[in-house]
Structure 1
Amino acid sequence: MAFRHLTRNLFQFAKLANTNINQRLYSSIQHSYRYRLLTANQNYVSIRAFSSLKTNDNAYRDLDTFLQKEIQLEKSAQKHPNSLPTIPNFQVQTDGPEVTLTRQTGKDKITVKFSVTNTVNADESDQESDLNPNESEQKSDNAGSQLKSRPTFTVDINRGSQTLSFLCSYLPNDHHEAHNEQQPSENALEDFQIDEFTIHDGEWNETVYSSDCSVIDGELYDKLLNLLEEQGIGEEFANQLTDFSTAYEHQQYIGLLDKLQKFVKS
């Protein structure tokens, strides 16, 4: 919990300097669709290296050939090809990119929801290497290990007709990297912050007031974190969630490539 008390001090900075960048580095596919721009009379003119007037299927064939290799590379890079990581004490339900976790603790029902869409972040070092095509190509085969899905998630604690709801997000990379340097471990530690909280009767709607946690009393904020931890939503859960989300997001991405290949072949 010692690191958690740093959350309040870093919270304002995290809100203003969110360094998360949704950028996929699984392969050199990121370099395939860049446009070169020509400045002429202060107007930008897009120049393509190929003719868009041809009516043959070269583009489809080229894409299909690329996808055959790309899908195999992605499958070989999967850390959990056969089964997803578990999140102990929670029942897991998935619907496309949407994930719902539920558990019952006494008279409280805990529900955690998140989506893996656009949740993949690249480390800062990976972003810098993207500026150097040679370095990016060298790292492309190992890029799967450089990616993490760290989604924003909601936590609902339902008690009778009332629900206490939290909107949470992972701390930026530089924060948890600093913590890992102070307390080295085999696996990188994750932590999260509470962005907003509210309480409502029945189903939530837009008329329900919620509070931004960057402006609430620091002691209240810490007690809300402690409440979540007692409900099983703490640092250990944060690591389990990002492990699951990373594996599930990768699974969804491979599924998207499969659909793209089927579309190209149709």
Structure 2
Amino acid sequence: MAFRNFTRSLFQFTKLTNNTNQRLYSSIQRKSYQTFKITQRYMPIRTFSSIQTNDNAYRDLDTFLQKEIQLEKSAQKHPSKLPTIPNFQVQTNGPEATLTRDIGNGKVVVKFNVTNTVNASDSEQESDLQSTGQEQQQTNNSSSQLKSRPTFTVDINRGGPTLSFLCSYLPNDYPDTREHQHSTENEQKHNHNEENINEDFQIDEFTIHDGEWNETVYSSDCSVIDGELYDKLLNLLEEHGIGEEFANQLADFSTAYEHRQYIGLLEKLQQFVKK
């Protein structure tokens, strides 16, 4: 918890930017486009023949999906059983997940959605293409470079109104202020596997409400609240099991579950094109 004292001063200057990154699970690349010039204007044309029929397009997509699905399944780290989150009961519904925990007379509920939560940092994408000789091997291991880091809500109820938090993961490039930074710096330079990177989160907003948290409920942006109050809210969450260890467990679960959802989407697409 010592490094969290730095969070307040840095958090005000830190806003997460949602970047859409290309999925790197497989080595299959998208078809390129060619251009030709007509009266000073550039018009894109597809590399495949314009006289292809719809049936050919469906067959081509089906052939691609057969290979793609196999590649995705071979890249799964948890093909049969999802990672566990100790002390929490997990329920899923499509891309949504709900974690529930009873603490004394209170109840803690964490909710998140894995849709569009996978990110690969720029440094990781560059490292995948550093050398031609290592490109194929790094592509095969690219699934380990993708991680689902969703925003999530935490509801704490003690029999009356609900105290709610909106939380998000700290950016990958967030300054590392952990006390053991210097002792592990050399090791981290030689190890790009995200499994060895400790995750942490920040509180974006908090509120107290009856019923559902919606637009009619006032909430406070934590970037403008008192720093001591922010730290005490973090301590409160940690006492309810929402701390650094939980952040790592949630990211591992979300990554595996998102990958399973993506494979399911590809299988549905394959069924569609087979009709």
Q: TM-score, normalised by structure 2?
A: 0.86
Give 1:57's aligned residue.
55
CA distance in 1, matches of 2:158, 2:117: 30
CA distance in 2, matches of 1:96, 1:128: 33
For residue 12 of structure 2, give the secondary structure of its aligned residue in structure 1: helix
Contact 1:20 1:172 in 2 (8 A): no
Superposed, which structure 2 residues align to 1:113-128 within 5 Å? 113-128=111-126
Moved more, 108-117 or 171-180: 171-180
For residue 165 of structure 1, give the secondary structure of its aligned residue in structure 2: strand
Q: What amino acid is the match of 2:63? A: T
Give 2:24's aligned residue.
25
Q: 2:204 aligns with which of 170, 174, 195?
A: 195
- After superposition, give the CA deviation of every residue in 1:53-100 in whole Å (9 maximum; x if it has no partner): 432522222221121111111111111111000000000000000000
Give 1:244's aligned residue.
253
1:46: Cα distance to partner? 2.1
1:215: Cα distance to partner? 0.5
CA distance in 2, matches of 1:106, 1:9: 34
Q: 2:45 aligns with which of 31, 44, 47?
A: 47
Q: TM-score, normalised by structure 1?
A: 0.89
* RMSD of equivalent CA atoms: 2.6
Q: How many pairs are equivalent?
A: 264
Q: What amino acid is the match of 2:263? A: I
Give 1:222's aligned residue.
231
Give 1:12's aligned residue.
12
Superposed, which structure 2 residues align to 1:200-215 within 5 Å? 200-215=209-224
1:34: Cα distance to partner? 5.0
1:9: Cα distance to partner? 2.2
1:139 and 2:138 are equivalent in the alignment = yes
Q: Which runs of 5+ in 1 are unaligned?
A: none
For residue 173 of structure 1, give the secondary structure of its aligned residue in structure 2: coil
For residue 220 of structure 1, give the secondary structure of its aligned residue in structure 2: helix
Identity fraction in percent: 73
1:169 and 2:162 are equivalent in the alignment = no
1:115: Cα distance to partner? 0.5
CA distance in 2, matches of 1:33, 1:222: 50
For residue 85 of structure 2, give the secondary structure of its aligned residue in structure 1: coil
Q: What amino acid is the match of 1:14? A: T
Q: What amino acid is the match of 1:171? A: L
1:250: Cα distance to partner? 0.7
Give 1:84's aligned residue.
82
1:129: Cα distance to partner? 5.5
Moved more, 60-69 or 159-168: 60-69
Relative distance call for 1:28 and 1:178 in structure 2 (3 A) is farther
CA distance in 1, matches of 2:11, 2:241: 22
Contact 2:96 2:114 in 1 (8 A): yes
Relative distance call for 1:35 and 1:182 in structure 2 (3 A) is farther
Q: What amino acid is the match of 1:48? A: R
1:256: Cα distance to partner? 0.9
